[in-house]
A and B are shown apart, each in its own frame.
Chain A
């Protein structure tokens, strides 16, 4: 039986290899255009269209256009990658029709990259090759980047043209084995894609002698094993935003064509499924996941292996597996990113999960607001099924499992397991009582395992590289990486995947580039609307489930919003609470009524009508909601309030006692006054005031009638003499 799986997989691989070889991509110029909802919104469809026109009219047969998903570099989209054979790939940012023309004429026709539009300015110098060092973020070996600096020095001393060779570092390739851990470093050479494992300075010398000076690969040092994020770093290793990350779940995002099964297989796809079905031992799969210390990426952090074990141990043999793709947090888009950019990986992860718990049927619950994700997952399901990778007798193993998509109508609470099940069953999406837990009695009363999209995205890597490997990437409690949606007042926004245990500071400053305009950081809000605020003084905190909870926040699905001194903490807390108030399902009293009452109190605080007693009431209600609500949504809803009261109580007091908002965000508390000294009587403010509450004669000092002022800020904006003061 197991040999038939091996034969099946080998057949699949050779078919794909043949098809890929026939395309002769190595000899062609490959243009990759980002294609995901976010990329489309930024205009990537136009970009693709323009490239098609250019290729057609140029008549060039050696240019291939490809679609790829989204890498998660939000503010720089659309992103286009151009790979000329034998050269380093060049990535362009914010591509539009004009830039397409430039890229085509300059880079493709004339061989001169459009330097000024390269992604994150990585082409400030033109390099012929690059050596990318692992920075040893988790093992500690290369903490000081000693090897990298030595190598750079040696290059300067010995290479004939050191300025054409770039030396850089990435966070972690996730490459070490148990024995090597902390004893070796990895170097990726681009464009040769050679990965070296080095142990000593002599190894560096050998690389310089053989590769830099001799142009040959150092066979002895080649790490032959397939490394999880090699393909990603081969494409994006020179971009600072990416190369400080560790890409496991997102390894294929922005690399593969999300609509091509062949490409997924080329990049190692379905190898893990083949291994699982060859082993024919569900318990082995569960053990690997247990060893990996993989915890649910949906927010709760329940150990995935434990959940699978519980489902596997049920007496009832009809079982279901559900992928929770009801990404409801405003500002979270990692699930969408993975569903749209690497759908086959999610499907493969689900089939493996289903095999582990011996489920016969699975559902992907995806919110209806994600049409592209739905389309691509459906495509992945259809292609997988047509290739014998899903449905009856998967990979000739005798195991059968099929998948179906179910659309969510967009209720935040449907991300809660029991509500999600109710929704699939066609009932109102409301949480039910637990126990019984879904793994005991879930969908239609049968054992049901629900895991998040990102959880499934990690499964194939765990099987391919081993549970121990995965565990080593993270902390003692939680293995692996976590994808965060970094947003807010940070320079670089986007999807960030880092090992669990990375400090907040590294994420915000090292990867995110720090606060916009280099303003002081106030706090980092994690975990979406039900998360809490981590004050700036705790930036050294390691990002993991337990420390976040201890700080009054949650991991949640991985939202990470950077707040600066420009943000009013009360206003932000009010914003988040208004979200949970709207999204409360209405079932239990404390959440339904309590959130509304807290909302009213916060409203009073931000418009200056609150009294000190309101603060006590707010805190009392927040605790009530946390302690007595039925489901996790209600219990977490007051987190923004409780954690902001913990760390920023003085801001609340300012609002209530001084009627002052230091960040000038609470409009009702702002006062506009015209300075007697600075006003020259130009009348511009008076002419622009929509309620005509500014009086004064030409060339005389003007006055704002505070009673009638609606605090729109028009006068403040239009005054050219800075005479309008905002206080």
Chain B
């Protein structure tokens, strides 16, 4: 049924839009972008900032265009002098209660508050007075909460509740003393936070940021604390997104430039986390085949996404037996760097400093997980940089990224298949696994490569794949509200899945909490953005000779030389881990 059309006038221009359209969207049809702050197209309406007010004939008060639907004959003015002054004053009120430290702020240049203040013409301060003062919460390994920079738009609260289903954040206090934080304003690391970093992604200011690891990387690069062998590896999704920070069009893979930039920064070896992804396919694939044979419970839940693992440990500890025991590709790669690679190179692992470039902030916590440390308690990953952090380091160093020659990853841990590349998008882990599982189950070397059913930005994708006469029910979840849905099906027995891919962030790693802030005309969480970034990964995959993980010769060699059997004793020692229930403080 098509909606009836409504005629209205905006700024003197008559237009027709479907019933139910908001004034903000109607104005966009005329090419008028009404300023906004709390509004986010992929979250529920808040109507709190009031920056998007417009004047409507017949009303004494101004109306928020984000939430007001059009009506027949409505007369709207978006830029009357009164409206311009009101918006300017609202913006100033926000600024008056915000630190005056733009020049030293991490979000300088890509802050939405700063941008709107400039656009609305706040050139002087009229109403300044007292300003809120709160300590910064640095308790979390991944996310830093800075309430002084918060403008109470509520996006973080909404993304945490509506997209991730975690509901860790809420407003506390009233009026001027309102502040956003976890339950009872306790420390973030004792809260229900699963560290996905989506709050960081949607925050218009710097009220939420990732925990900074650049300092420790600069220090390692300088050799000030003793020269170490510096190894870096880059997650699959980085090549698809870091170009955005250097002016490349959205969805441009820049693998070669990335490698060269890292070499310029001074790393001794540059590997690809894709290697770990290929390895994950082998280990997880074997685990799956075993369980499919009755050795262990089904469905198998994947374990690459640390946000998901945190979510499971905090909210669904009863699901732990279903989760794959495989470490994540990052941790597999780092472990092998400090064992296999170190032994082959004859370097004491203590003299190796491993940096992982990740699209994710939860990886910062994962790197510090006590059960994943080496036997003497050393971390396998010594620093985790988000895509944003690395982009800033490259800029800070002065490297002309766009014009760099394309470099190549080092061997052996830089060799990877296209299956590893697509790990960075929702459905990619599943597709990579199916490519290998299909071959293993049928014994035919040339099984299917592309599994369309698990591609796309949908939320919860379900498919039944027929392999070698066996029907395999798979599900792919991105965004934890979708994971919740799948888990409910599993719990109730309503769905009979065999293999479920879990990714905490909506769209997968390409939309991770550590990815570049999108250009201003796009919104974080925009499915179009996810599609463009995913396209980049699929094209990298399509252009590779190696498309299946088990075809990766470096992997084959690794098993021959070092690990032995997949899922064997050595594999379990190095590549697998275990989980435990971790209830937030105050919950038993």
Contacts and interface: CB of A to CB of B under 8 A. Distances in A.
26 contacts: A430-B171, A581-B175, A581-B176, A584-B176, A586-B152, A587-B46, A587-B154, A588-B50, A589-B51, A589-B152, A592-B176, A593-B93, A593-B94, A593-B97, A593-B176, A596-B130, A597-B96, A597-B129, A617-B126, A620-B85, A627-B60, A627-B61, A628-B86, A629-B50, A630-B48, A635-B61
B174 A411 contact: yes
Contact of A589 (B50, B62, B69, B85): B50
Contact of B90 (A581, A590, A626): A590
B113 to A, nearest CB: 11
A433 interface: yes
Interface string B43-83: 00111111101000000111010010100000000000010
B129 A600 contact: yes
A433 B175 contact: no
A589 B174 contact: no
A427 to B, nearest CB: 9
Interface in A556-611: 581-597, 600
Nearest to B87: A628
B86 A595 contact: no
A628 B171 contact: no
Nearest to B37: A589
Interface residues of A, number: 33
Most chain A Cβ neighbours within 10 Å, of B86, B171, B176 = B176
B173 interface: yes
A430 B94 CA distance: 19
Contact of A597 (B49, B127, B152): B127
| 4 pairs of A and B residues whose beta carbons are closest in the complex | A586-B178, A584-B175, A593-B93, A600-B129
A624 interface: yes
Contacts of B64: 433, 630
B170 interface: yes
Interface in B102-128: 126-127
Contacts of A596: 129-130, 175-176
A59 interface: no
A593 B96 contact: yes
B283 interface: no
B177 interface: yes
- Size range of the interface on B? 35 or more
A160 interface: no
Contact of A628 (B90, B126, B176): B90
Nearest to A587: B48
Q: Which secondary structure characterizes the binding site on chain A? A: helix
Interface in A405-444: 411, 428, 430, 433, 435
Given A589-B152, A627-B86, 19 more contacts: A430-B171, A583-B175, A584-B174, A585-B178, A586-B174, A586-B177, A587-B46, A587-B171, A587-B178, A589-B90, A589-B151, A590-B90, A593-B96, A596-B129, A600-B130, A620-B85, A620-B89, A626-B61, A630-B64
A583 B173 CA distance: 10
Contacts of B178: 585-587, 592
Interface of B: 45-51, 53, 60-62, 64, 67, 69, 82, 85-86, 89-90, 93-94, 96-97, 126-127, 129-130, 151-152, 154, 170-171, 173-178
B53 A588 contact: no
A292 B294 CA distance: 75
Contacts of A430: 171
B152 A624 contact: no
A163 B544 CA distance: 116
Nearest to A585: B174
A588 B47 contact: yes
Contacts of A403: none
A595 to B, nearest CB: 7
Contact of B170 (A428, A590, A597): A428
A621 interface: yes
Nearest to A621: B127
A433 B94 contact: no
A542 B130 CA distance: 42
Given A600-B129, A627-B60, A627-B62, A589 B93 contact: yes
A627 B89 CA distance: 12
B86 A592 contact: no
A191 B345 CA distance: 112
A433 B45 contact: yes
Most chain A Cβ neighbours within 10 Å, of B62, B85, B97, B174 = B174
Contacts of B175: 581-586, 591-592, 595-596
Nearest to B44: A433
B57 to A, nearest CB: 14
Contact of A586 (B46, B90, B171): B171
Contact of A617 (B45, B94, B127): B127
A529 to B, nearest CB: 13
Contacts of B89: 620-621, 624
B172 to A, nearest CB: 9
A582 B177 CA distance: 9
B174 A597 contact: no
B238 to A, nearest CB: 37
